[in-house]
Amino acid sequence: MTCIGTAGHIDHGKSTLVKALTGIDPDRLTEEKVRGMTIDLGFAWLTLPDGREVSLIDVPGHEGFIKNMLAGVGGIDVALLVVAADEGAMPQTREHLAILDLLQVRSGVVALTKADLVDEEWLALVSEEIATLLQPTSLAGAPIVPVSAISGQGIAALLAHLQEATARAPERPDRGRPRLPVDRVFTLAGFGTIVTGTLIDGCFRPGQEVEILPRGLKARIRGLQRHRQAISVAQPGERTALNLAGIAHQEVERGDVVTLPGLLQPTTLIDVRLRLLADAPRPLSHNALVDFYCGAQVVPATVRLLEDDELLPGESTWAQLRLHQPTVVERHDRFIVRIPSPSLTIGGGAVLDAHPRYHRRRRSEVLHHLETLAQGSPEAIILTHLEQPVRRMTGTTRLQWPAYETAELARLSNLTQPVTQQALETLLTQRRVRRVGTYWFALSVWQALSEEALRLVRDYHVQFPLRSGLSKEEWRSRLHLPPRLAMEVFETLRSEGLLTEAGSAGLLRLPEFLPTLSAEQQRQVERLIQVFRENPFMPPTRGEAEALIGEELVNALLERGELVKMGDGTILFLREAYERAVALITSYLQEHGTITVAQARDLLGTTRKYVLPLLEHMDEQRITRRVGDLRVRLPQPAGT
């Protein structure tokens, strides 16, 4: 569905024209009716001659209510610029037109109202003036239609031109990421909280859980309406009213965004292409403070110019805006910037990246990256995200390898998922990306990551040549990979024969690596094993063993399974002694049914110091089970 928005100077007849077109008075506030002046947004709808129904937003024309005007025009598809024929273009005509141009509203109609109050010659002069005014803007060539809301003159022609303009307006894309910038919040008895706005992208349905950002509040859609009629699904571009359950109307404000949980993230830093209006009163300086308007929201912002120290009127540049409050925007969103004092629209532009890293100024690689985002193909845009590492400070600088799933890349690039998938397949054919499980890497990033992943294991082998391998968790942590991505990376490297797992202990090693003892180390091990064999059930403790041959050799014997540690690891048994002890105890249990600590001690000819950890270890291995002061044998799987 298409949304039409009015624009124009105060007292030029916008609201009167809307009522003449639709039969609906858009001035809903008592103060508006008393003062005869539109203060806030008004809403109506009309049926075009071809039967299509369209929404209509009426905006205030007074310069003091420009904030309200901007909350409404961010979601329109077609502009209805209203100019009084007896006055011609006035200050708010020009500012509203500049805003429409900055928002790149390319489809529209000019209504020359009060045409019955002037003669034909004057009407021709005003029409020529407006055509000249439109020429350098996105509405250049828009039809200019003389009308009178009082007599009905030109209303039929205006409707016909509006029908043509709505047909020319681009269709709203559906990328499956619904968001509704809230421009009105109210409550109705028996219904509760109701919010309205123009739905961007995606669809909403009754029963869905939604999230209100940037507040992070959750609610559920109780019902949907369009033009006061209940609907089962809200489509992109539609004026939509959401009846929300689970949230009070005081918790939501104009400028909030309703979306699906977890779909969008607020931001405080954005990359933009910024244009300063040609009639801006002065250049815009680096670090200037402005008010940032996007959708229905307004937040203070600091402008970081990335190319020069100032932006001259009529020129454009790359910039980062540091938003003073968390804000919800997406790539390609159009925005307006105004200076707060004197209150004036000075420029606007488009969002290139809603979640960038902080850029240093005057860096050619940064400017090239932004140029690609602004003009690049889907393949180039996707590569900019895949090739750009994100550095985060957490005590030390950590490198996060950029890897994304298809849906996340589509969101970051503001592309549909099919277009994203096709671009990734093209890049895969060109050997510029690598698929790793469900994730995508730029090939250069994957090569760097895989080299680092193997280097960590290789260095560990050099540092600890007697150990079987590096723990998988330590490997993941040192690479700064989230668990699921780490698993995909390991499985890929294992499938390529570059990395393998040592036993079942979660240790990683290179396939060609085997722990090897030197001749001297082998002699030391043999002497230790002899000591263990001399007293199989009262062997040296771990501390005593390490005193004889060193910690590294003891760890190597544990990893190889030649030694078995009991409990906290203080007590060690030689593998053969451990298996013999288990066999003796289980044989005793088969004959007697139960065994006490004292009986096990006497059976093995040992002490409580050794038999207690042994019995607890057998409990942990589910060979036995403790019942009071007794142990009983647990049923064992076949073949054990």
Does 639 reside within a domain?
no
Parent domain of 118: 2-168
CA 399 – CA 422 distance, rounded (Å):
29
Same domain, 200 and 255: yes
CA 45 – CA 28 distance, rounded (Å):
14
Parallel, antiparallel or unpaired: strands 571-574 and 184-188: unpaired
Provide the CATH number for the domain around residue 68: 3.40.50.300
Same domain, 156 and 192: no
Same domain, 321 and 452: no
Q: Which tokens go with 169?
A: 């307006």
Same domain, 158 and 10: yes
What is this structure's pTM? 0.71
Number of domains making up the chain: 5
**Residue at a domain's end among 168, 189, 211:** 168
pLDDT at 71: 87
Buried residues in 379-415 as b, exposed as e (16+ CB within 10 A) = bebbbbbbbeeeeeeeeeeeeebbbbebeebbbbbbb
Same domain, 6 and 153: yes
Same domain, 15 and 90: yes
User: How far is residue 522 CA from its own chain's centroid?
Assistant: 56
Average pLDDT per 10 consecutive residues for the chain, totaling 640 residues: 90 91 85 79 92 91 84 90 93 94 95 92 94 95 94 94 93 86 91 92 93 95 93 92 94 95 92 95 95 95 96 96 95 92 92 89 88 86 80 44 91 83 93 95 93 94 85 93 94 94 79 80 89 94 91 83 89 95 95 94 95 94 92 78
Buried residues in 607-620 as b, exposed as e (16+ CB within 10 A) = eeebbbbbbbbbee
**Residue at a domain's end among 209, 228, 259:** 259
CA 39 – CA 357 distance, rounded (Å):
40
CA 348 – CA 282 distance, rounded (Å):
15
Largest CA distance in the chain: 123
Does 335 reside within a domain?
yes
Same domain, 500 and 569: no
Does 173 reside within a domain?
no
pLDDT at 389: 61
Same domain, 19 and 128: yes
Same domain, 251 and 277: no
Same domain, 199 and 254: yes
Ramachandran area for residue 627 (φ above 0: left; ψ -120 to 50: alpha; else beta)? beta
Does 371 reside within a domain?
no
Does 640 reside within a domain?
no
Same domain, 477 and 586: no
Provide the CATH number for the domain around residue 505: 1.10.10.10
pLDDT at 575: 94
**Residue at a domain's end among 146, 168, 190:** 168
CA 58 – CA 15 distance, rounded (Å):
7
Parallel, antiparallel or unpaired: strands 3-7 and 78-84: parallel
Same domain, 356 and 382: no
Does 638 reside within a domain?
no
